Structure 1
Amino acid sequence: MANTIETRNAVRVPFLDLKLQMKRLGSGLREAVWSTLESAAFIEGKPVLEFERAFAVYCGTSDAVAVDSGTAALHLALHALGVAQGDEVVVPANTFIATAAPVHQVGARPVFVDSDEHSWQMDIQQVKRAIGPRCRAVIAVHLYGQPLLVRELRSICDEKNVPLIEDAAQAHGARYGKEKIGGFGRLACFSFYPGKNLGAYGDGGMITTNDTDLATRLRRLRNHGRTTKYEHSEVGFNYRMDAVQATVLNFKLPFLDDWNASRRYWAGRYRERLSATPLTLPALIPDTEPVYHLFTVRCTCRDKLASFLAERAIETGVHYPVPLHLQPAFRFLGYSEADFPVAEAICREIISLPIFPEMTEHQFEHVCESIDEFFATTPGR
């Protein structure tokens, strides 16, 4: 028994391990960053252009426009599409607040829709009903790295003559059919927050599109509406990506598919190993290839499980504990508890388990064995 306790206490499982990732990237990354620093050109410039081109090729789109965060990407996308005061934008109730905050920032009203009870993604049928005469866009989130039925959603948007914006902040490299996420909507918005599947060493974002004219305007808008150094054709924003982040991201991009494959491997192992436990797992969406930015499960005693795992040096997360319609920031919209019952139930029960490309078999077994132990020893679960 003593040996078992010592082994258990010796195994630590972080939620993700960016230090190990950086170590494995080695001196090549440090040399690339140092070269950019020595150039003393820190805003936009060659590194940003090179990353934009590489990311557009990766996503299979004609254009990619780099910005300084995923939130900025969504705000700029809405602004460029002309969404403004008095308009409505359909968004999921269960997502991070950055999906809906830019809607409010352009003066429009977020119109929330519930989650699908099986996949936990945005309920597409509810989207169709939520699109009213004042709707000017639909923001579809590929939540946790699981692509939505985006072709079906695009058909609904086309039928209603409403542009589709993909929120791909958690879905770098995910596929629907044979195509990567990023080119199904009029625009797609990515985040390169450090913990993402493709993360910067600071903040960063990207907008992909197949509309070259729109991309030209987005590039102008991100840089104060500038046409020449001191000439501005419209009032824009300071949403420029810096050269250091572009250097880091361009260096890491060739590793992304392998990292995603590793995440899928561990997700598959989790699905096999946890299928006999009382945990509820989300249904897979056919003809998609998720990238498992997060591996989420549902547990009726979520907080007890999280505490139990923490005692065994296993980090977990909750994505997300409060649906957007119940956030204090959106109280003015007038939504109430039970308006979106599926999203609310998910938020009460969801827990994210550790998953990252560098995860070891020892760490994986420690997580699964600890979950087995929890259900074997916890009364009233």
Structure 2
Amino acid sequence: MEVKVWSYLKEYETNKEEIIKAITDVLESGVLILGEKGRELERQYSKYIGTKYAVGCDNGTNAIVLALRALGVGEGDEVITVSNTAIPTVSAIVTTGAIPVFVDINPRTYLMDVTKLEAAITPKTKCIVPVHIFGQCVDMDPLFEVAKKHNLFVLEDVAQAQGAEYKGKKAGSMGNISTTSFYPTKILGTYGDGGMVNMNSKELHDKMKRLRFYGAETTYYAQEQGYNSRLDEIHASILLTKLPHIEEYINRRREIAAIYDRELADTSLILPFVEDYGKHAYYLYVIRHQKRDEIITKLKENNIFANISYPWPIHTMTGYQYLGYKEGDFPETEAAAKEILSLPMYPTLSNEEVMYVCEVIHKILNE
């Protein structure tokens, strides 16, 4: 048996006719960019997470760039986030001309440690970017207290937490603005790149629409400096076929997580810690062990493919050395990066495959 860390092939095979029809409908419509499919996805995704507005983008990275631009973040501003995140979170901040400022993580959840926010704030701080990583939300109430006290914007990065909840509110519905990615591996993913920005402010909505379209509201006339960052109709149409099933996807992920929880409870692994304030969507099922690399190697020998998210904290990367951080600055982030791994997690995994993963892990740990 082979168990991949992620695969879309079973899902595609099951929904092939619907996906092909969605693509064909677009191709036969005569409209490929900024059409009704994109507008309908914006309406439906906003309704799903509980915001008034949404603007589709070409990918999740540019969604963050444009969201920051819409908030007025630019050259010399500081944006607080975490080093335990995907490169795009930080790359997007840098693209605006702003300076990423990191805080350490909570060692139980791997999410931003909001108790460290205040110490990171300077007169240049303009925005906080909480990353709802692995499928669970950052503790937002104390974060908002800090943001309000210092008059800071909050941009939620929801790329890994579509459908997750914080005290009954969907991830992406709480900040001044939020972004998500529709990269294929995401809980709601297309078969290529895509992104979305959500907000409740009409002013931010209108600015975002201009920013993704060269700064223009009508063709050939720019009201401000903008970009080319449009979600095309084919990907919007594919996403419209999948969005009605997102809760099914999440429920299945939670079922798989429950099997892992049960079957691996008596091992030396550190299993995911779930905060009681929210609903975990299990984009990833992240475990921890001091012999992480050995476990991954032996899993691979048994045709089970795990992943590390993320093996190198951003502040330790050569590309971000200019920020002035050094190893040891964020001990919890650095310790986690040496020990965490992600087990296979996607809705089309069978119980048999999940049990096989658990059996092999038991065998590895008992050798």
**CA–CA distance in structure 1, aligned partners of residues 277 and 103 of structure 2:** 24
Residues 1:356 and 2:346 aligned together? yes
What is residue 135 of structure 1 aligned with on the other side? 125
Please state how far the C-alpha of 1:152 moved relative to its aligned partner: 2.3
Query: Residue 151 of structure 1 contacts residue 184 of structure 1 at CA under 8 Å; is this kept in 2?
Result: no
What is residue 375 of structure 1 aligned with on the other side? 365
What is residue 283 of structure 1 aligned with on the other side? 273
Query: Residue 256 of structure 2 contacts residue 351 of structure 2 at CA under 8 Å; is this kept in 1?
Result: no
Give a deviation string over 1:36-63, Cα, whole Å, max 9, x none.
Answer: 0112311111110010000010011000
**DSSP 3-state at the match of 1:100:** helix
Residues 1:24 and 2:19 aligned together? no
Give structure 2 stretches of 5+ with no counterpart. none
**CA–CA distance in structure 2, aligned partners of residues 137 and 361 of structure 1:** 43
Query: Residue 83 of structure 2 contacts residue 313 of structure 2 at CA under 8 Å; is this kept in 1?
Result: yes
Residues 1:271 and 2:256 aligned together? no
**CA–CA distance in structure 2, aligned partners of residues 275 and 337 of structure 1:** 33
**CA–CA distance in structure 2, aligned partners of residues 278 and 196 of structure 1:** 29
Q: CA RMSD in A?
A: 1.0
Which stretch shifts more, 339-348 or 128-137?
128-137
Please state how far the C-alpha of 1:313 moved relative to its aligned partner: 0.8
What is residue 191 of structure 1 aligned with on the other side? 181
Query: Residue 120 of structure 1 contacts residue 282 of structure 1 at CA under 8 Å; is this kept in 2?
Result: no
**CA–CA distance in structure 1, aligned partners of residues 118 and 235 of structure 2:** 38
Which stretch shifts more, 269-278 or 133-142?
269-278
Query: Residue 22 of structure 2 contacts residue 234 of structure 2 at CA under 8 Å; is this kept in 1?
Result: no
What is residue 114 of structure 1 aligned with on the other side? 104
Residues 1:89 and 2:73 aligned together? no
Query: Residue 154 of structure 1 contacts residue 184 of structure 1 at CA under 8 Å; is this kept in 2?
Result: no
Structure 1's consecutive aligned runs of 4 or more residues displaced over 3 angstroms after TM superposition are none
**CA–CA distance in structure 1, aligned partners of residues 200 and 71 of structure 2:** 14
**DSSP 3-state at the match of 2:102:** strand
Which stretch shifts more, 299-308 or 281-290?
281-290
**DSSP 3-state at the match of 2:26:** helix
**DSSP 3-state at the match of 2:129:** strand
Give a deviation string over 1:165-201, Cα, whole Å, max 9, x none.
Answer: 0000011111112211111100010000011010011
Query: Residue 302 of structure 1 contacts residue 350 of structure 1 at CA under 8 Å; is this kept in 2?
Result: yes
Residues 1:261 and 2:251 aligned together? yes
What is residue 366 of structure 1 aligned with on the other side? 356
Identity %: 37
**DSSP 3-state at the match of 1:362:** helix
Please state how far the C-alpha of 1:95 moved relative to its aligned partner: 0.5
Residues 1:336 and 2:326 aligned together? yes
Query: Residue 118 of structure 2 contacts residue 146 of structure 2 at CA under 8 Å; is this kept in 1?
Result: yes
TM-score computed with the length of structure 1 as normaliser: 0.95
Q: Select the residue among 131, 138, 141 that pairs with 1:151.
A: 141
Q: Select the residue among 209, 215, 222 that pairs with 2:212.
A: 222
Please state how far the C-alpha of 1:302 moved relative to its aligned partner: 1.0
